[in-house]
Amino acid sequence: MEKFKTITSTYVPLPIENVDTDQIIPARFLKATTREGFGDNLFADWRYDKDGNPKSDFVLNNPTYSGEVLVAGKNFGSGSSREHAAWAIGGYGFKVVVSSFFADIFRNNALNNGILPVVVSEKFLSELFKSVNNNPQATVTVNLEEQTISNNETGTVESFEINPYKKECLLKGLDDIDFLLSNRDKIEEYERNRAFAYE
């Protein structure tokens, strides 16, 4: 995974609540076993008509909005536990998803795939939607090291929580296996000492 650095980016607004994983990536696309191509099918049923043509009224098809940050409504990622939802979001190019609430399994899947889910207050979320409606070039800054997100239109800053282990993995660009390998010497030393404890 890439190391997560401070991101300042325009953002894509999706002010829809209770977006589930089947809406993020419909079940018919789950046959694939690798991550390639999932970004093309992100929000497929909202993004394309039955003939595969882009729907002009969906935000991902609106060139006015772009960026590495998706700002979504409350309760994002509910439903099934499919990791493919995180693959689709990352495959599209989003590195951060902002919402006032995430389903637990989606949040963990996102973190495991190098995507940072940022939980903000309802007030802050509403302000982000208002800012981007007024100025589609509005930006946010997400600082993982300091655990802050800033609305650069208003100057409002909020702190967010993240599991310390997952934070370290994102900052260093490590998945769970990479993290274990990076601590191989410590693990082997522990095992050697543990063996003596049972003699």
CA pair distance 62, 138, nearest whole angstrom: 15
- Which residues, 6 or more positions from 46, have their beta carbon under 8 angstroms from its beta carbon? 23, 55, 58
145 or 178, which is more confident:
145
If you average pLDDT over every residue of the chain, what do you get?
90
Grade residue 93 by pLDDT with cuts at 50, 70 and 90. very high
Residue 38 contacts residue 32 (beta carbons within 8 Å)? yes
Grade residue 188 by pLDDT with cuts at 50, 70 and 90. low
142 or 197, which is more confident:
142
Q: What is the pLDDT of residue 28?
A: 86
Superfamily of domain 7-174: Aconitase, domain 4 (3.20.19.10)
Q: What is the pLDDT of residue 192?
A: 62
Q: Give all strands of the β-sheet with 96-99 in edge-to-edge order.
A: 116-119, 96-99, 69-72, 7-14, 139-143, 148-151, 156-159
86 or 32, which is more confident:
86
The number of CA neighbours under 13 Å toward the Cβ of 37 is: 6
Which range, of 40-49, 75-84, 102-111, 146-155, averages the lowest pLDDT?
A: 75-84
Q: What is the pLDDT of residue 174?
A: 85
Grade residue 51 by pLDDT with cuts at 50, 70 and 90. very high
The single residue listed with the structure tokens 């049972």 is 198
Percent of the chain with pLDDT over 70: 86
CA dihedral sign of residues 122, 125, 131, 132: negative
Residue 161 contacts residue 119 (beta carbons within 8 Å)? yes
Mean pLDDT of 100-106: 95
171 or 35, which is more confident:
171
What pTM value is reported for the model? 0.87
3-state helix, strand, coil in the chain (%, to 5): 40, 20, 40
Structure-block tokens of residue 11: 């953002």
CA pair distance 174, 178, nearest whole angstrom: 5
pLDDT per residue as tens digits for the range 150-179: 999 999 999 999 999 999 999 999 876 565
* 58: number of Cβ within 10 Å: 14
Phi, psi (deg, nearest 5) at residue 70: -105, 125
